[in-house]
Structure 1
Amino acid sequence: MTAEELLAIQDRRRFLRDGTCGIGTAALTGLLAEDGLVAGVTGKGDSFLPREPHHAAKARNVIFLNMSGGPSQLDLFDPKPRLQQLHRKPVPASFLAGLNDPVIKAGATVMATPRTFSRHGECGMEFSDRLPHLAGHADDLCMLRGMVTDTANHHPGQLLLNCGTPMFGHPSMGAWVSYGLGSESRNMPAFVVLTSYSKPASLVGPSLWTNGFLSSSYRGVAFRSKGEPILHLENPAGVSEMFQRVRVATVRRLNELRLKETRDREISSR
């Protein structure tokens, strides 16, 4: 049978009936590929799919609380018995060895915490009297007390905590997590940031959830507690939903054409 003879006896209704299984299978394959459920999909070339880990992944989500300005760890869960002995005395020279801080070296005095510490749970984890409720969950927590720093200023210290370095331009913890775990949805952000206030952010603020040198798709999406939840999503005054939809679609098409021309990965995150 020639192609012309086949077309002569094949009408549209029969094609849709006979081709349903094939079309459905192709659609299902595409949907499964988007979720990373197709064999052989490793996430290469797709920023939303998870990477193949060095070890079997156990974590599916990460919640990180960055409580800047909260009480010192010395008053909460890091007892220093030696400081109690040196309270109101000059800082010993051995404590200052290798410290590059002329202010502290000029005449610092030891100040011990006024809080009282006690052990909790079968593990014997120590908490101060300021954390009575958290202390009740001692056996469910993992406390890391081995972290040290030589950064005394607040902003560089926050960068060090969130990005691993006191310098600007490096990916944040959330960016690395979304890079490794991927996203469950292509239409929702994998990394969101909940701020406790909506006043203008400080210089270091957005740098705590930046993507650094990774693709912009890994940058944290900041939600505000007041006003517009996410900036620049609502239509400007006087712009209808239909007009905005057409404009966004046009910009997306222009970005696709530019991406095809330049192969710049940053364009794909817009």
Structure 2
Amino acid sequence: MIRTWRGRGLLILAAVPLAGAVPMADVAVAKPPPRPRTHAEPSKGVVLRTAAPEKAVVPGRAYAWAWTFRVTGKARAKSGEAVFRATLPESLAFVSGEKACASSGREVVCALGTVRRGQKIGGVIRAKVLRRAEPGRTIRLRGSVTWRGTRVTTRFPDVRVSRTADLAIIETAPAKARSGARIRYALGVRNLGPATAESVTVESRGPIRLVGHDTACLPRGRDYVCAVGSLRARASRTLHFEAVPRGSVRAGTVLESSWRATSPTPDADESNNRAVVRTRITAPR
């Protein structure tokens, strides 16, 4: 409300407070809490380093993804609770981790407890490459650690899903053989695919000596190595040779020999790479 007075040619204005009006007070506006920063470089004194398994991984096998978290001397706080997190891609399945690690779906969370300034903590996540992982596909994985409101994120080194073969070996030999007679062996090697198995070899173990053996087999110490060559998917080769016991053996002795197929090409299933045959030696006529 404004009142006026006139006097000696002067006009005086005065402001009068309205009834019930309350003077405005300064209002403090609350600021939102700062968001944790996410990046792969050291952030406010925290560092996360990662390491991956070999560059090529084989479907069906488990590998270790390692990480190290460190609070440097530049950190403002003396200590704080730390948590490690990682989300596995669809090509990986969680197998195990540290004691404080747990998984829910594809997310892995590890409670690291209180981490002090200058302290370093390391951990490992073991994950299995699923058999449906596409050969040649790159697996990418990120890990992050949160410490006192600050989050640092780092990529693990990329790994590639190997193109694999699957060697299977079948060896046949007679169940019985007379003492002094030659034992005939047939050794079949097949590549179940899907990739070509390069430079396949078969190694022998056992107390036998090859005679009239396949030209692909050469002695190596007391054993033999047979060169099969490269096998495309679904291709096979059979080696034929004869053998006698190394040294004299009595009737009733069971002669055991084992053979194992290998290739520089990663093998998706090594359980069928080995064959064992047994032949009982009988008395001569």
TM-score range normalised by the length of the shorter chain: under 0.3
The higher relative CO (CA closer than 8 Å, separation ≥ 6) is in: 2
| Structure showing the higher helix proportion among its residues | 1
Higher strand proportion, which one? Answer: 2
TM-score, normalised to structure 1, is 0.16
